Chains A and B, each alone.
Chain A
Amino acid sequence: MSKAPGRAAAMPAALRAGAARRVDTRALVAGSAVALALVAAGPFVLPDFMVNNLIRAFLYAAVALTVDVLWGYTGVLTFGQSAFFGIGVYAVGLIFTHAGFNFEYAALAFAAAVIGAVIVALLVGWLAFYHGASPLYASVVTLVLPIVVTQLLYSGGTFTGSSSGLSGFESFQIELDAWFRIAGAFLVAVTAATWLFVRSDAGRVLVAIRENEPRCEYLGLDVSRIKTWLLAASAVVASIAGYAFASVQMVVAPEYAGFVFGTELVIWVALGGRGTLIGPVVGTLLIDVSTAYLSGNMPFMWKLVIGVTFVLVILAAPEGIGPLAARLLRGGRREGPGAEVPEVRPVADAAPAAGAEGAGAALEVSGVRKRFGSLLVLDGIDFVARRGELLSLVGPNGAGKTTLLRCIADGGERSAGDIVVNGRSIERRPPHECVGLGVGRKFQNANIFDALTVAETIRIAHARVDRPSLWSRSATLDLPQAVLRVLQTTGLDQQLGTRVRHLSHGQKQALELAMVLSLEPSVLLLDEPTAGLTKPERTLIGQILVDLAHTHDLCIVLVEHDLDFVREISSRVIVLHQGRIVLDGTVAEVVDSETVRTIYSGARR
């Protein structure tokens, strides 16, 4: 294969990345230390009622943080985090009231809070995040959750205390000042851990899900599972906060699990600045403390004051207080300093994809039909494509080419027929499982993850092969040779730190191709892989594809309109017309045939 691309730029890039990470780590350590010092000193200087208010605010802020991760980073708007807080609250209330308080029961209540929250979260995740569920549907489920929990509490009679809740139970013999430090330290720890997580390579996956969830599926990521586990983790944090809250207050009431509280959390996050972590934390603390203050000093006016303030904040800073403050600190610039660039390392090419021995058939399509309502788009498609074959799919616009690729990449798409990849039927598997069978699909329209950089995008595409770290950012990016060659051919290797939204149309197309190759597929489906590229760039990409087919035994199916390009690279051509295969043969047989001239390429050439 080609020479190893040890670019001169790689070293400084790695150094830059390392430096950026050190600055990040230093900021985290310094920030946490200052926050902990403040928490330790707080009780010495603050009046008692303020200490009490802040304990509550610390715990609320931890829950607001989970809302920010779900909504701000992952795009799941949730009103249900209060329910998990409520599970923690009632684990304490019920066990301490009915069983009494001692060390064992305290531990039991803690276990009940955490396990109960996880079980409910997994159930909600299963209901809300199944393949194909809309974001609105998920939000509705999270809204229903606290309503159901509250109803259960209301109907629990004396056991749950119904609408008046439970009080008067014994709890930990801990001073208020100590609780202040415990709750404060808990908030600092949760914030620091979350901060590390969202900045890690895995955290970038969350942003990718927010930006374009279906695309993530086609990169082999099981989005439903990721979201469900994320919800479970957030539920644990919320229920621990609830556990602490009930232990301090020694009062539990259904309001703490209700959807009003759940909605307030969303408002706090929006005002603080979604997707910033620190914004929602500071926002929650400010709002909760000022609410307590105002409701004491002006018992009739305070709600009006708070409401007007909210409106003013939204008008002045639609993104919330956090981003506004950050922009002021940066001197007016909207975006932060250029993202760090990892060092690119070529990796040895994997052995040709494993599959059924000797069969040679990578893709078998038989009797595939696809209907959109009354419209029959594919009408009985049969063909077999072998490893090492570069098969071009040509045909008039609207012949069903893209639909056929979609049917191969998503088991849920076709209306009838069977598709076998590497000897295994794709059955009704969702896209991420088809990726697992070896299918990689490049889309016609490049719509990727606008907010991420080129390097982050490729890392996510490679996440199926190379699991991203949950807490750190890798300084290197290991890439298969083919991916590297696509990046170099199109100049993207010089723009690894550029955000995707700033790329040109042609560069986005090339990035799409690089992403699909990062999946290391054995059956590669390419929808117009060279659209928007110039002739010389096309030729180079064409060579890369031919190499992949020959040296890696890949089966490549591509849709292409440029017949010169088709002629240069394909080993076989299938012509699709009105949902049927009308020709299937070698380049020479097909491209110059009378049929193709009539239905497709036109008279003169």
Chain B
Amino acid sequence: MTAPALELDSVSSGYGLAVVVRDVALDIRPGEIFALLGKNGMGKTTLLKTVMGFLPIRSGAIRMSGEDITAEPPHRIARRAIAYTPQEQALFQDLSVEENLALAVRDEARRRDGLRRLGEVFPFIPQRLKQRAGTLSGGEQKMLLIARALMSAPRLVLVDEITEGLQPSVIQKLAAVLKAERERAGTAMLLVEQHVAFVLEVADRYAVLKLGEIVDRGAVADAGAEPRITAQLSV
């Protein structure tokens, strides 16, 4: 059996004196799409930042493909083929669309191949390669970030609120793209989401975070999953 793409072993972390994430245990298999749900302020973003090494871990361990990455700095973790797409705009505003992509995907052949695959969902990207990223609209910037993350052919993608600010038709296509990428490259994905319908369509398993602890988890295909998730998010 292969090691999980990402494994959290009772991880706790937080800011200053406050513990925001408590004893979280997770494992994501290669090629699996895992959704992390929860009301806002429950520690979802904090958990992603901890995995990426931006926040120091208090206790527990984080492993990627069986290797311990607990104490590694962010740039070393990123080199292990993790792509992280934060909520805040993380593009280089003064660089062009193409330059932004080139920074993440140096190999030109791979970039061209990525543009061909992802250009179908995000047609504006191949059309406007020379445009300055800062002049794209908010939703377009989000799409460029996602395309950049997928293009770098990572083993693991962490995305914070992938659907926020996107038009409905793009969200539908996005679900198909994520599934196709997983099939093609075996990419594992950890999605932080509020959009329940999207999670039900795209994810294999889910966990609900509440006050920094996992209070519910299961397979999305289970009959009771939808009402359970909806109930967890409304309390």
Name A's B-contacting residues (CB within 8 A).
Answer: 333-335, 372, 375, 395-403, 444-445, 447, 490-491, 502-507, 527-528, 531-537, 561, 563, 600-605
Q: Please judge, given known A-B contacts A533-B40, A536-B233, whether A505 and B139 are in contact too, CB under 8 Å.
A: no
Does the CB pair B194–A335 fall under 8 Å?
A: no
Residue in contact with B87 in the complex, picked from A400, A402, A505, A536, CB distance below 8 Å: A505
- Residues of A near B222 (CB, < 8 A) are none
User: Smallest CB–CB gap between A443 and chain B, Å?
Assistant: 10
Does the CB pair A397–B140 fall under 8 Å?
A: yes
Q: Please judge, given known A-B contacts A334-B16, A502-B15, A528-B165, whether A397 and B135 are in contact too, CB under 8 Å.
A: no
Q: Please judge, given known A-B contacts A445-B138, A535-B196, A535-B234, whether A507 and B89 are in contact too, CB under 8 Å.
A: no
Whole-angstrom CA separation of A561 from B162 in the bound complex: 13
User: Smallest CB–CB gap between B191 and chain A, Å?
Assistant: 14
User: Smallest CB–CB gap between A529 and chain B, Å?
Assistant: 12
Residue in contact with B88 in the complex, picked from A335, A399, A445, CB distance below 8 Å: A445
A–B Cβ pairs within 8 angstroms, 27 of them: A334-B16, A372-B135, A396-B170, A397-B167, A400-B137, A401-B137, A444-B138, A445-B138, A447-B88, A503-B41, A504-B40, A504-B41, A504-B42, A505-B160, A505-B161, A506-B39, A506-B41, A527-B138, A532-B161, A533-B40, A536-B234, A561-B139, A600-B169, A602-B169, A603-B169, A604-B172, A605-B168
The size of the chain B interface, using a CB distance under 8 A, is 38
Does the CB pair B41–A398 fall under 8 Å?
A: no
Q: Please judge, given known A-B contacts A334-B16, A445-B89, whether A563 and B168 are in contact too, CB under 8 Å.
A: yes
Does the CB pair A561–B168 fall under 8 Å?
A: yes
Whole-angstrom CA separation of A391 from B194 in the bound complex: 25
Q: Is B143 an interface residue (CB 8 A)?
A: yes
Does the CB pair A507–B170 fall under 8 Å?
A: no
User: Smallest CB–CB gap between B97 and chain A, Å?
Assistant: 12
Residue of A nearest to B170 (CB): A397
Q: Please judge, given known A-B contacts A507-B41, A535-B234, whether A375 and B165 are in contact too, CB under 8 Å.
A: no
- Residues of B near A561 (CB, < 8 A) are 139, 165-168
Does the CB pair B124–A533 fall under 8 Å?
A: no
User: Smallest CB–CB gap between B233 and chain A, Å?
Assistant: 5
Whole-angstrom CA separation of A396 from B87 in the bound complex: 20
Does the CB pair B135–A375 fall under 8 Å?
A: yes
Does the CB pair B40–A532 fall under 8 Å?
A: yes
Q: Is B183 an interface residue (CB 8 A)?
A: no
Q: Is B45 an interface residue (CB 8 A)?
A: yes
Residue in contact with A505 in the complex, picked from B40, B140, B169, CB distance below 8 Å: B40
Interface string of B146-186 (1 = CB under 8 A from A): 00000000000000110011111110110000000000000
Interface string of B89-116 (1 = CB under 8 A from A): 1000000000000000000000000000
Does the CB pair B233–A397 fall under 8 Å?
A: no
Whole-angstrom CA separation of A335 from B165 in the bound complex: 34
Does the CB pair B169–A398 fall under 8 Å?
A: no
User: Smallest CB–CB gap between B163 and chain A, Å?
Assistant: 9
Q: Is B55 an interface residue (CB 8 A)?
A: no
Does the CB pair A397–B137 fall under 8 Å?
A: yes
User: Smallest CB–CB gap between A574 and chain B, Å?
Assistant: 15
Residue in contact with A398 in the complex, picked from B136, B194, B230, B233, CB distance below 8 Å: B136
- Residues of A near B138 (CB, < 8 A) are 397, 402, 444-445, 527-528
- Of all A-B residue pairs in the complex, the 8 with the closest CB atoms, nearest first, are A506-B40, A397-B139, A602-B169, A504-B41, A601-B168, A398-B137, A536-B234, A504-B40
Whole-angstrom CA separation of A597 from B203 in the bound complex: 25
